[in-house]
Amino acid sequence: MVEPLRIAIVEDDPQNVEIQRRFLQRIANTELCGIAHSVQEAQDLIDVFAPQLVLLDVHLPDGNGLELLRQWRMANQQVDVILITAAKEVETLRTALHAGVFEYILKPLAFDRLEDAIHRYSKHLARLNQLQLIQQDQVDALMPINDVSGQGKSLRPPKGIDALTLDKVRDRIQRIKHLNAEELGVEIGASRTTARRYLEYLVSTQEIVAEVSYGQVGRPERRYRCC
């Protein structure tokens, strides 16, 4: 039986904490091992419970989440981070990438986006744990998207992003202007998960933007449009 992924939440806003907690309950094979509302609580949580993954906010009442992450790196804390923040400044993104975050997710948080990030992290961790000696292609597959140019765009698509399919997605976005992952999947003949992967890649390169809309009660939906 696979051990559940131990996750901690570091977030000072009670509503955001509750949203993340409920979302994690719906994601298979995850275990919430602690919640911290400040930098000091976060450090105690890491020391005592040793989570594998932290859902980390930037702005905390007694400090900065990115500075906390740098402290963890300097102390060789064995923890990975998904940053969940309202900070949209490019410099914040750049700092987060330099600090080695696995993902950077903008608030308001949508369930599908968090689920996709955690599933990819779980696969990443499983591949890493199976390796002994590595080859270059294995390194390429394990590395997150962190090759960013001065304009915030990747120099080349990461593994799993096909250039021809990417061009097709760009074309549909230009023509349709505003859609979600399911609608794009129908357009390009792919699953919703595959379509979302391409859309989120284009968000990361700042070619499109994602907005959260609320349809059914409690079911926020990510929709995408050109910048």
Alpha-carbon span 151 to 78, nearest angstrom? 31
Alpha-carbon span 202 to 153, nearest angstrom? 9
Q: Residue 194's CB: how many other CB atoms inside 10 A?
A: 18
Q: What domains are there in the chain, each with its CATH number?
A: 5-119 (3.40.50.2300), 146-226 (1.10.10.10)
Query: 179-199 pLDDT, tens per residue?
Result: 999 999 999 999 988 999 899
Residue 223, strand partner residues: 180, 211
When pLDDT is cut at 50, 70 and 90, the band that residue 134 belongs to is low
Percent of the chain with pLDDT over 70: 84
Residue 16 in contact with residue 40, Cβ under 8 Å?
A: no
When pLDDT is cut at 50, 70 and 90, the band that residue 31 belongs to is very high
Residue 56 in contact with residue 80, Cβ under 8 Å?
A: no
pTM above 0.85, yes or no: no
Check residue 150 and give its pLDDT. 37
CB-facing half-sphere around the CA of 186: CA atoms within 13 A: 5
Check residue 151 and give its pLDDT. 37
> Three-class SS of residue 191?
coil
Amino acid at 132: Q
